[in-house]
Amino acid sequence: MKRHIKIIGIGSYVPKRTVHSDEIDRKISAPNGWSEKKSGVKKRYFIEEETASYMGAHAAINALDQAGLTFSDIDCIISASGTVEQAIPCNASLIQKQLGLEQSGIPCFDVNSTCLSFVTALDMISYPIDAGKYKNVLLISSEISSVGLDWSQKESSILFGDGAVAVVLTKSTTQSGIISSHMETYSEGAHLSEIRGGGTKIHPRLYDENTAGDFLFNMNGRGIFKLSYKYLPAFLERLFKNTSLSMSDINLVIPHQASASAMKIIRKKLEVPEERFMSIIENYGNMIAASIPMALYEAVKQDKIKRGDYVLLLGTSAGLSIGGIILEY
C-alpha cells in the first residue's frame, strides 16, 4: 500500500568544529593520509559545546523554513537517532524544549533502530500521516558519535562524524509517497557493532578503567559487511516485490554512509552507476542515523533529485538490520 506522504522541507545542522583527516591521523598516531585512505573521510564535524537537542532544533528550524511553515503548523515531533542526549527523557522532548515549544503540547517520542532510525521512523509515521492523524510531522535525526568513539579501535573511530538533519512531512496530494518499505533484522549480528555499556546491563556506575571500553563503540566491520552482503540480494528482491520497479528505475540510491569501501562494493553489487549512488561520506563521515537524511539533504541541494523521481533509501544498522524505502520524491 502506497503511503501518500511528501517531504516538504529538509534542513541540516553541523557542529562549528570541522575535523580534517590529518587531525584524525595525529590523534591515532597514524601516518599522514592514512585515515582518509582507509575510510574515505576527508572531513567530518565534531561537537564542542553543541548538544543533540541544540543541533536537532537548528536542523528543524531550517527544515521548517524551507517548508514555509511555522511551528504552530507542526503536530508531531519524532527523534530518530541511534544516540540519546540523556537517558531520560526522550530526545524529541528535549528538542521541543530547545525550540521554545515547552507549552505547545506537540507530541514527542523517539524511534530507534541505530543507523536505520530515520528510515524506520519515516516508514512508521507514513501510515498515520496518510490516514490523516498528523498534518505536519518533524522527523529529526541528531547524532553525536564523537563522544563514544574508541580511538584505540582505528577501524571504527576514523569513520564517524556528528550532525543533525530534520525533515517536515505532510500528506501528499500528488504522486509523492512511499511505494515500498522493508526491514530485516538478523540478531546473529547483534554484537558485531555495539556499545555494551550505558544501559541496565552495564550501568554507568560500573565505569572504571577496566570497563571503560564497554562504554565506547565497538565494531567488527568485516563481520557486518559479510552478513549484510549475504542477506542484501534477497532483501532487495523483497523490497521491490509488489512494485512495478527494478533497480534500473531508481533515479538515485541514497545509502547509509557506513564506510567508503563498503559503499563502493555494494554499489557494484547492485550494478548502480556512480552518478546514481549518493555519497557524502568524504565530507561528513558516518553520522549514524543522520547519514541517510544528510545524503538526501545534499541530493536535494545539489539538484540530484527532482519531484517524481524514484529514490531508494537503503542501509544497514547495528542489530544487525537491513532497511530500505522506495520513495517517489
Known catalytic residues are: 115, 256, 286
**Burial grade of 291 (CB within 10 A; 0-12, 13-18, 19 or more):** buried
Q: Cα–Cα distance between 129 and 107 in angstroms, integer?
A: 14
The residue range among 33-41, 167-175, 261-269, 318-326 that interacts with a second copy, by the rule CB under 8 A, is 318-326
At 143, is the secondary structure helix, strand, or coil? strand
CB of 76 to a second copy, least distance (A): 8
Contact 322, 232 (CB under 8 A): yes
The 132-171 site mask, x for binding a second copy (CB under 8 A), equals: xx----------x--xx-----------------------
188 binds a second copy (CB under 8 A): yes
| Nearer CB in complex with a second copy: 220/251 | 220
Nearest residue to 221 (alpha-carbon basis) of 137, 142, 157, 267: 157
| Nearer CB in complex with a second copy: 147/265 | 147
Q: Within 47-106, which residues bind a second copy (CB under 8 A)?
A: 51-52, 77, 82-90, 92-94, 96-97, 101-106
How many residues bind a second copy, per CB under 8 A?
Answer: 76
At 124, is the secondary structure helix, strand, or coil? helix
Q: Cα–Cα distance between 308 and 317 in angstroms, integer?
A: 28
321 binds a second copy (CB under 8 A): yes
- Angle of helix 91-98 relative to helix 52-67, nearest 10 degrees, comes to 70
Q: Cα–Cα distance between 30 and 117 in angstroms, integer?
A: 33
The residue range among 5-13, 33-41, 210-218, 269-277 that interacts with a second copy, by the rule CB under 8 A, is 210-218
| Nearer CB in complex with a second copy: 266/320 | 320
